[in-house]
Amino acid sequence: MYAAMRHPLTILFGYATIFFWEMSLWAFITAPKKHYDGGIAVILHIAVAVGLSFISWQALLLGLVMPMFIITCLGSYLFYAQHNFPGMKRRHGKEWDHVYAALKSSSFMKMGPIMHWFTGNIGYHHVHHLNARIPFYRLPEAMAGLKELQSPTVTTLSPAEIVRCLRLKLWDPADDRLLTFREASRGRLNGELRSAESLQPQA
């Protein structure tokens, strides 16, 4: 299940797997009082789909399915890549620290101004995790105003960077880095054979 949730196909079809099912329908089913908004989202989504289908299948495809497929695929990847990237660091137990986690366990996604606008400045992820109360439109200002926020680990939307991020799945506390499943299955870290059971899933 862990591997399936982080599979590239799950991210590619994030429209159905992540946004519709996990974040809306499943959230409502498991805790309807807490996540009533998920149920509202599902009802409204189905209502729009039915309404467009009465016009034509082209209206449904081009007016809802294709735009949602594209934007949720991008959104799913952004959620994933900003916590699973080369150079990401973690601390555990008593060593865990909120500031360290914000600055080292989340990245700055470098994008152009148009993409930053379309994504609500989600690229400033390290700033958001440091203080979630900062409005999205002031995240760039916060980063520019604080020297400590200006040297994060940077990720991009280049094809090579996307592939590198998608391959990273497990955290190895001994080697202090993220691994691919293939690296973990080899079980050879720092020159000695180790069990994959010692590897911690990456949240």
pLDDT at 194: 47
Enter the tokens of residue 131: 């203080």
Where on the phi/psi map is residue 117: left (φ > 0), alpha (ψ -120 to 50), or beta? Answer: alpha
Do 10 and 58 have their domain in common? yes
Total number of domains constituting the chain: 3
Nearest to 6 by CA among 191, 149, 171: 171
Which of 81, 115, 148 marks a domain boundary? 81
User: Is residue 162 in a domain?
Assistant: no
- The residues, ordered by sequence, that sit 6+ positions from 88 with a Cβ below 8 Å of its Cβ are 104, 105, 107, 153, 168, 177, 178
Average pLDDT, the chain: 90
| Beta strands 170-172 and 200-201, pairing class | antiparallel
pLDDT at 195: 47
Do 77 and 94 have their domain in common? no
pTM beyond 0.85 = no
Can you tell me which residue has the tokens 């016009």?
A: 55
Do 99 and 138 have their domain in common? yes
CA of 40: how far to CAs of 14, 69, 155, in Å? Answer: 19, 20, 34
> Domain span at residue 198?
169-203
pLDDT at 40: 96
User: Is residue 66 in a domain?
Assistant: yes
Over residues 91-123, the pLDDT tens digits come to: 988 899 999 999 999 999 999 999 999 999 999
Enter the tokens of residue 156: 């991009």
